[in-house]
Amino acid sequence: MRKTTNLRIRIISAFIFFIGFLLIVRLYQIQIQQASAYQEKAERQYVHTAKDVYNRGSIYFTTKDGEKVSAASITSGYLLAVNPSLITNPDEVYEKLSLFTTLSREEFVEKATLPNRTYVEIEPKLDEETYKKISELDVKGVMLYRNQWRYYPGDAVSARTIGFVGFGSDDGQLRGKYGLERYYDETLYRDNTILSVNFFAEIFSNLGSLVFEDETKKSGSVVTTIEPTVARMLDRILQETQEQYQSKLSGGIIMDPKTGAIYAMNAIPTFDLNSRGTTSIEQFENPLVEDVYEMGSIIKALTIAAGLDSKVITPESTYYDAGFLELNSKTIKNFDGKGRGTVSMQEVINQSLNTGVSHIVKLMGKDKFRTYFEGLKLGSETGIDLPSEAQGLMQNLKSPRDVEYATASFGQGIAMTPVATARALATLGNGGHLVTPHIVKEIEYDDGTKKEVAYPNGAQVFTPETSETVSRMLTNVVDDALRGGKVALPHHSIAAKTGTAQMANPNGGGYYEDRYLHSFFGYFPSYDPKFIVFLYTVDPRGVQYASETLTEPFMDITKFLINYYSIPPDR
């Protein structure tokens, strides 16, 4: 009997100890890990009970030293509201508040005289200084409450990539609308009702999650690969290019060609994430992943690589260039219509000869050429973690005619997104394999756990030997051909190529005679690249060739990255 009693006591004691341990762990979660959330709720209850506290996970940039910098967060301030039932002279109230509101007199008076209303919001985002000034006015019917909202410290930095939040049409909640805010909305979104649960109920209600695995959706914050200083630099250079040539659009991507990690990505014109009132919907979209373009002569580098990899050419192989050739009753010409006589494949890429890459396709045959371009996935989504990614238009590579393959070899008649183009071009410098372009590298969950986001390499399209050979040829382009070799750096090798494509006329068919898309890509150091830079500008005014518009921007970016990351000389 005594033994049985002792056993029961021990079992009860063990159970009590176990429950106590769970309580301690739960208290740690609430008081340490989730302290800020409960503190925000407590403050909110004292000053404003009209709404639940707004809560959402953060988005972070990552500096070159690995430090996190806020790209999107929650900031606190005050909300200005009025009680129309207490306002007898709305014009007088407006005079006192006019310095603190964006509303016109008519708009304010309309809100301040709404019948049967005791609460009407006037300004949702006021700082501490403004709060104090309005408080000192002591105006009857004017109310101030604590408030929180989404804040973007970088303003316009990488705006088209970061995106923003807006009210959803289904549930009326603030949800991600564009960019990372939309793509990772399920992770960033937090159900605010959890913050209004009774304290003791909250302690006991989640004991099960400490013992059993929680299968529900986990919310948290995302950490990106975007480097804020690099992103600001790219935005500035794109803006300068846009203004100088009065282009319709200018965009750029800076990426690690070996991993697909994107350090900067944006398009100009851009917008301020904190002030979007007059921004058009088109500017919210990200043309780098949502739009397709005929890229022009930068695609010649891929054709050269395919010819090398299939062993139908070497850099020293020659052909006779008459300046034009006839295919299926169509005439293909070089950009200047001139022939060069007998030239090598190196000169084909140096002088950007349309007839030269068309000759490579003829040697390869249509089927093998198509196989390489399909392997580069130019017509597919890249899998980048941004919404609304478009697929390329590669139907011309299903044609039985030779001419469509010839034009595809120099980037006309086929269209792809800038991000898909950058991924394909990265194969030239990274040993020949496809990567997955991506923005987010890590998710930090609210329960304190972390998840590194893995992006495995894709197919091996070119051999490492082909990658090295084409890199040598593209380095020769910079050293000897681009601006006569004047932009080459003495201590750092750079592999690069320009592209100029006629823009298609959507109305009458064919191509405009005076409208072009300019593109430029390059990676460095040539044989162990740390960065690939892709730039493009749409319909620049007063210039015809990409070497005129994008050489300086590319070289400015290259020099900045070499200095900022202290890339050692390789020659």
The tally of CA atoms less than 13 A away on the side-chain side of residue 115 is 0
Q: Contact at 8 Å (CB) between 107 and 97?
A: no
What residues contact 83, with CB distance under 8 A and at least 6 apart?
A: 117, 118, 119, 120, 141, 142, 143
What residues contact 328, with CB distance under 8 A and at least 6 apart?
A: 401, 402, 403
Of 376, 178, 410, the C-alpha closest to 287 is 178
pLDDT for res 511: 85
Instruction: Report the C-alpha gap between 57 and 15 in whole angstroms.
Output: 37
Tokens of 281: 């919907």
pLDDT for res 32: 66
Tokens of 513: 């005679």
| C-alpha distance across the termini of the chain, in Å | 89
pLDDT in tens for each of the 571 residues of the chain? 555 666 667 777 777 777 777 777 777 666 666 665 554 444 333 334 444 557 899 999 999 999 999 999 999 999 999 999 999 999 999 999 999 998 999 999 999 999 989 999 999 889 999 999 999 999 999 999 999 999 999 999 999 999 999 876 666 678 899 999 999 999 999 875 444 334 444 444 444 444 444 445 789 999 999 999 999 999 999 999 999 999 999 999 999 999 999 999 999 999 999 988 778 888 899 999 999 999 999 999 999 999 999 999 999 999 999 989 988 888 888 988 899 999 999 999 999 999 999 999 999 999 999 999 999 999 999 999 999 999 999 999 999 999 999 999 999 999 999 999 999 999 999 999 999 999 999 999 999 999 999 998 889 999 999 999 999 999 999 999 999 999 999 999 999 999 999 898 877 678 888 899 999 999 999 999 999 999 999 999 999 899 999 999 999 999 999 999 999 999 9
Residue carrying the six token digits 């749409």: 538
Instruction: Report the C-alpha gap between 269 and 286 in whole angstroms.
Output: 11
- Give the type of residue at 182: R
Partners of residue 174 on adjacent β-strands? 167
pTM of the model: 0.84
Which domains are delineated in the chain? 34-224 (3.90.1310.10), 287-521 (3.40.710.10)
Buried b / exposed e along 60-98 (16+ C-beta atoms within 10 A): bbbeeeeebebbbebebbbbbbbebeebeebeebbeebe
- The 3 state secondary structure assigned to 497-555 is EEEEEEEECCCCCCEEEEEEEEEEEEEECCCCCCEEEEEEEECCCCCCCHHHHCHHHHH
534 phi/psi in degrees, rounded to 5: -120, 130
Residue 414 three-state SS: coil
Tokens of 221: 């914050």
Instruction: Report the C-alpha gap between 298 and 470 in whole angstroms.
Output: 13
